[in-house]
Amino acid sequence: MIDFNVPPYIGTELDYVKESVEVNHKICGDGPFTKKCSAWMQDRFGATRALLTTSGSTALDMAAMLSELKPGDEVILPSFTFSSTATAFANVGAQLVFIDVRPDTMNIDEKLIEAAITPKTRVIVPVHYAGVACEMDTIMAIAREHNLIVCEDAAQGVMSTYKGHALGTIGDFGCYSFHETKNYSMGEGGAICIKDQKLAERAEIIREKGTDRSRFLRGQVDKYTWVDKGGSYLPSDMNAAYLWAQLEHAEQINDDRLDTWAAYDKAFADLAASERISTPVIPEGCVHNAHMYYIKLRDLEDRTAFIAHMRERGVCCVFHYVPLHSAPAGLKFGRFHGKDVYTTADSDRLVRLPMYYGMTDADRTTVIEATLDYFA
């Protein structure tokens, strides 16, 4: 069986974990490996500040706390996304305003944002689906005009860029995930990028249970104390050690995934041209990270038959997301603004093919041939 996902593994992860335990004697948060990872993200992505977190979800939680919303304040986000994008803002009392996606990228339709803005709107959350950037110039211009915060859900977008800028560093906040299903992994983990220096200081406090321990450790204050709300959002240095092994080889992992993506895309080009299926579109100015390869079939029935066919051929394919506005919590905490033209219809048609670091040529060929046979 070809799995849908295999967690990335470079080979040096366990050496570094051992080093954290036996050499550094530092296994709690903010040890040497955490510092290496955050410095790397700041250098490589040009983030003002990048802080490792325990997950992409807690990175979003931190961004929601940093947004300082009042109950009833509104947050605009796509309905076609993972639940954590919404939960973070529901947790701080926000009213969620879901809008439709564009069918080419399955990203938030930037042309629908302005109509969804009310006097209570505070935040826009672009989700860079499949690691392909949202139309950030337009989104940032709308945010500036209406004085809104932009929180990028870049959980899938590590190493992707928009017009040369790393995803996660364009808005006020950017949230990454290092879950085992993402391009780089520490098991469970994530990071938040913060653009504003002042907010970065507050983020350090929120991440350290509401204390100014980070400033204390840098010698900026002579004792540390409880100064704000917060949580425990820093991961163990053992997990950071695991991630560091992969960040050191970020290019290698990225190139390998892009090879698989390109092999799929080439193999399915004729099917796409004949409009039997649709394949992902990468808009101009966007460089993606091959987080995902998906195809869209005719409808739910076609997709169900496709997944069954692939399973018979030993290939595991999966679908997502149940649109949030129709989920029980979505009904409770939000509303859909405008017309649901693509969110529900396209989420019923979409299927993801196996995609992970280290897929062999034989595995790629099996997936491609099984796919082509379905349509033959």
Ligand X SMILES: *Cc1c(COP(=O)(O)O)cnc(C)c1O
Question: Which parts of this chain interact with ligand X (CB under 6 A)?
Answer: 55-57, 81-82, 84-85, 127, 153, 155-156, 177, 179, 190
CB of 185 to ligand X, least distance (A): 9
Q: Measured at CB, which residue is nearest to ligand X?
A: 56
> With respect to ligand X, which residue has the nearer C-beta, 38 or 81?
81
- Overall size of the chain counted in residues: 376
CB of 343 to ligand X, least distance (A): 14
CB of 243 to ligand X, least distance (A): 12
> With respect to ligand X, which residue has the nearer C-beta, 55 or 79?
55
Residue 232 CB neighbours (<10 A): 12
Cis peptide leading into residue 242 (ω within 30°): no
CB of 334 to ligand X, least distance (A): 16
CB of 275 to ligand X, least distance (A): 28
> With respect to ligand X, which residue has the nearer C-beta, 342 or 374?
342
- Tokens standing for residue 132: 């392909």
Helix, coil or strand: residue 284: coil
> With respect to ligand X, which residue has the nearer C-beta, 109 or 153?
153
Residue with tokens 């997936």: 367
139, 150 Cβ separation under 8 angstroms = yes
340, 103 Cβ separation under 8 angstroms = no
- Tokens standing for residue 212: 């100014």
> With respect to ligand X, which residue has the nearer C-beta, 56 or 330?
56
CB of 286 to ligand X, least distance (A): 16
How would you classify the pairing of strands 149-153 and 173-177?
parallel
What distances in angstroms separate CA 307 from CA 85, 293, 354, one per listed residue? 27, 15, 12
